[in-house]
Each structure stands twice: as structure tokens, then as C-alpha cells.
A and B are shown apart, each in its own frame.
Chain A
């Protein structure tokens, strides 16, 4: 099977279950949103996929091949992480050249063009970059590798609004011209929501949602009204949580809405991805 398959991955750090029997399939040429709260297990999962750490159990297959100590399989994946793995004294220009050693399809001309669009001086050293530009140079590197599987862990960390906007546009341009699998892990959910095709939500080391954004969004809604009426309405529904403002109650519900069955006095509205995420991952 093509794509990245994670099968029954388990990882414990001491008595913390960072991953518990995680099975997910990242298909080819789709943009994924990997969402989870801090400590939910996102980074552990990504590190297991890229072979940076070893799982205690389970396996990862890349295009059907086990990726464990398999350079050819791992070479199809590029991960941009929050942490900087490049030598601090290296110039950005040299980072590009160096990356090309490991990723032969790296497009240097494209990387230089992107650097111009972000106004990044490639003669600067890694050390001298601000948080925002540090993210930018790593983003540019990731998008230029032409890897089949690109993982972006917190890609917009420290970027100003204009640069975030530019990043999403460039990502879509790149994806349209030369599709690849992109896995975006971010806390800035609303901004990424439009770009994401498929959502995977992790909580306490387990996958709690794995479905298309559209399907997921169609399921979440809120019902607002007098507390008593709302309680009655939600009695037979999958209630995620509630907010109370005086006598007014808002219920967050997961499920298919039957508009005809909504009584007078109850207002229905949709939940956006971020609100849905918050309700799904609240303790």
C-alpha cells in the first residue's frame, strides 16, 4: 500500500503512555492536519514515523516497506521540526546545499526564489535568525526538498500575519503544481483549517478522530437557549460540553443534526474546527 502506514505503534516514557496502539494511514497526495494538545503525543508520533525515536511496539511502513533502519524509505520523508537540527554557524545558502546531499531532488533555484519572497537573506547564519525567520528558513527547506512526504511541525511559529498568509499560499501553489503528502501539526487550527483535507486528532496517546475535515465539520454543532430547553434537547445526544451564561446555555454536540426536530427557542449554529477541537480534547 502506498502512503505512510503506522500500525499499532506504542511508546512509553517511563510510565507515561505517549502512544497507545496508534494506527493511522497517511495517504498519498493529501494534506493532513495532525491536531492535539500539548503532550498528546503528536511529536512522539512524528518522531516514530521519521525514525528519530524507536517505538516500543508496532511498525511504520512507507509505500509498503518497513521504515525501520531503511534509508531508502526514510529518504522519502522530510520533517521540519520546531527544534533546530542545523549547525548554528552554517549559512542558509549552505543549509540548502547540505540538504541537497540528503535529498537529491532538492530544488535550489526554488528555495532561493522562496527566500526572496519571504525577504530572507540566505547569506545569514542559522544562529542570527529570529524565531520567525528560523521557521521561515526551515519551511523553505522543507518545501524545496520535493520529498514525497513532508511533515511540518508547528510551521508558522513566530511568523507574522503577512508571512503566515504567504506561507499558506505558497504551500497551496506548491501542492497544486507538484502534489505530495503534507502533514501539518499546529496549534493555530483556524488558520490551517481551510488547507487541511483530512483531520487526525490525538488525545492521551490515542487517535480519537481520523476523518475528512468536511465530514468532521458536518457533525459538530451548538444549541443555545434556555437551560431547561437545552437540557431536554440534548438528553438523547452526544454532548461534548456546555457553556452557561446566566440562564442561557450553549451545548456543544457531536452528531447529525435533524433540523426538523429542533424546538422553538433553540438556536443552532455550526462549530468551527477550532471550537470542535477544544470540545473534543477538553479533559
Chain B
């Protein structure tokens, strides 16, 4: 968690949980940490943690089991990958193009850099 990150903390929380699901730390149909565990761990207000979790509920990533806690939905990993791919253009490509223009890099130069990056 980075309080200096530009994005609101609750978005970062949702993203961290999604990262956990993508990495296999929270497999489908298993429990994710509780709001209390998350807020204590990151030293953030429980209301903020709850807001982050609610974002995942709205996105169909996790669901509530009464009296037990929040569980990862079947298909959550696929949903997250799909969503992240859509965001990829916005988050990386537009920024990349902007920075490249500032530096005077040509499209060809960038493509060769991308090829270099992939071959690493």
C-alpha cells in the first residue's frame, strides 16, 4: 500500500486483492482476508477497506458467504484478466505514447524496444 500513490486507497486495496487472486494466493472458492485483517495489515480505516472489497463484490470477483466472510468467485481469475487487458491500453500504452512523444522517440524505435523487452 502506498499512500502517496495517486489512486485512492480503496482502489489500491481492490487491486491488491485481485493481484492475490491472479498470483494464486487466493484460489477460487477460498476465503480472502477480512476487512479487519486488511485494514490492520495496511493500517487503513476499515471503511476504506470495506469500500475496496465492495468494489470486488460489484465486479463479481468475490461474494459474501453469510457468517463466514468473502470468497473468491468461480471464474474470478478470468474476469480479472479480461478487465486488466482492457485497462492495459489506458494504463500503459497511452502513457508510453505520451512519454515517447516527449522524448522524441519514433514509433519504430518503440517497437524495437518492445521486441527487446520481450526477448529478455
Contact = CB atoms under 8 A, between A and B. Distances in A.
Interface in A49-79: none
Given A176-B35, A217-B8, A269-B6, A194 B40 contact: no
Chain B interface, >50% SS class: helix
B78 interface: no
Interface stretch (A5-13, A95-103, A132-140, A165-173): A165-173
A175 B8 CA distance: 22
A71 B43 CA distance: 34
B4 A176 contact: no
Contacts of A172: 36, 39-40, 43-46
Contact of A173 (B3, B6, B40, B44): B40
Interface string B3-36: 1101011100000000000000000000000011
Contact of A165 (B36, B39, B43, B46): B43
B48 interface: yes
A270 B42 contact: no
Contacts of B3: 190, 193-194, 272-273
A88 B8 CA distance: 45
Contacts of B47: 197
A195 interface: yes
B45 A195 contact: yes
Q: 9 closest pairs, A vs B, by CB?
A: A176-B36, A194-B44, A168-B43, A270-B6, A172-B40, A197-B45, A172-B39, A169-B40, A176-B46
